[in-house]
Amino acid sequence: MPEAAPAIEVTRLVKTYGGVTAVSDISFHVARGEIIGFLGPNGAGKSTTMRILTGYLPATSGSVRICGVPVATQPDEIKRCIGYMPENNPLPEEMRVSEYMYFRGRLKEIPRRKLGPRIDEVLEICDLKRVRHKIIGQLSKGYRQRVGIAEAILAEPPVIIMDEPTIGLDPHQILIVRDLIASLRGRMTVIISSHILPEIEMTCDRVLIINQGRVVAQGTPAALRREIFGHSTYVLEAAGDLTAALAPALAEVDPTLQVTAEGEPDAGGVRRVTLTTNREDELGEALLRSLVRREVRVRSLSRTHPTLEDVFLAATKRSWDAVQKPAR
């Protein structure tokens, strides 16, 4: 297994079934030790891509390499390199948690003498020790999700693929899973899909957004904000002679700073003004000084950050527009 190769390399991957293209020519790389969030609307092709990465489904064309090993020609080797938690986390209902972990550990070729201590370790990490002797079918959704996660990390594979691992978890459990995934950073490469976008933003180093089987955006959340929105936004609430004072104050701080929306004054004469700039650095303090010098009474000034949700919606909308344009 080449040490220098990226953990995951996907090149021009295409998957069609029954004439429907589920994944259309997607390419991306994931470095070793990186945690990447895989986002997309329902039916975008996330689960199909993940299944191809695991070697479970064959690709129609394109190539996928895990740790430098091609999935198409060496699927058995790939299965030793990955821990996979599928969508909906299917588990055998009749087995006890510890029995299931032992069975999976044996299938994943963990030596018998190491398996017991390793099972204890993952049960501890995933807070499952209390339910280790319980039957899986009797566990709550949160525990079942954690059994799936524990199983995925059991053999300490270099690549972990999890399809919606936090679905159905309460905030406390989400926090545990987030910390768990964060603890894998640098040691294992993790690719997770989720619809809980703040979760992805907090956990992942990089985000990959796909829509209609195509990659529509990829990069760090900050880079995606820059790429998609291209500007920073400030919201100012102030009273005074804004018409006269605002334009020179903005020009003094940054020539690209401009008013994009202006509200009506409230009972105290305070207006809400939205400002945008192409600059990424913080302009708040300079702007505040400039406004105060011009005797503008400032009630508040804040910089608004588009959330990952905004980025996701904008990126997917952009891809819909791109698809619909040629039809018009």
Partner 1 sequence: MKHFFTLLSHEIRMLLVTPATYVAATLFLGFMGLIFSQILEEYSARAQEISPAIVYFQLFWLPACVMVPLLTMKCLAEERRLGTIETLLTTPVTTTEVVLSKFGAAYLLYVSLWGSTYGFFYLLRRFSGDARYLDSGPLVGGFLFIALSGLFFVAIGVFASSVTSSQSVAGILSCVMLAVLLIGGNAVAGSNWLDQGILQSVKSAVDYSHVFGHRDDFTRGVIDIRHVLFYLTGTILALIFSILSVEAKLLHS
Residues that bind partner 1 in the complex, under the rule CB under 8 A: 17-18, 51, 54-58, 76, 79-80, 82, 84, 86, 88, 90-95, 99, 103-104, 106-109, 151
CB closer to partner 1, 192 vs 236: 192
- The helix/strand/coil state of 190 is strand
Identify which of residues 52 and 224 has a Cβ nearer to partner 1 in the complex. Answer: 52
In this complex, which beta carbon is closest to partner 1, that of residue 43 or of residue 90? 90
What is the nearest approach in angstroms of partner 1 to the Cβ of residue 323? 26
Q: Could you count the other beta carbons within 10 Å of the beta carbon of residue 218?
A: 21
From the list 83, 52, 95, 103, the residue with the least C-alpha distance to 213 is: 52
User: Which residue, 51 or 225, has its beta carbon nearer to partner 1?
Assistant: 51
Cα–Cα distance measured from residue 253 to residue 72, given in angstroms and rounded to the nearest whole number: 56
CB of 117 to partner 1, least distance (A): 19
Smallest separation, CB 280 to partner 1 (Å): 42
Looking from the CA of 93 toward its CB, the CA atoms found within 13 Å total: 2
In whole angstroms, the minimum distance from the beta carbon of 36 to partner 1 comes to 19
Is the CB of 17 or the CB of 220 nearer to partner 1? 17
CB of 109 to partner 1, least distance (A): 6
Which residue number, 109 or 241, has a Cβ lying nearer to partner 1?
109
Query: Minimal distance in Å, beta carbon 91 to partner 1?
Result: 7
- Alpha carbons 190 and 141: distance in angstroms, whole number: 22
Q: Which residues contact 214 (CB under 8 A, 6 or more apart)?
A: 24, 25, 26, 319
Extended beta strands in 169-229, E state: 189-193, 206-211, 214-219
Of the candidates 220, 249, 233, the residue with the CA atom closest to the CA atom of residue 282: 233
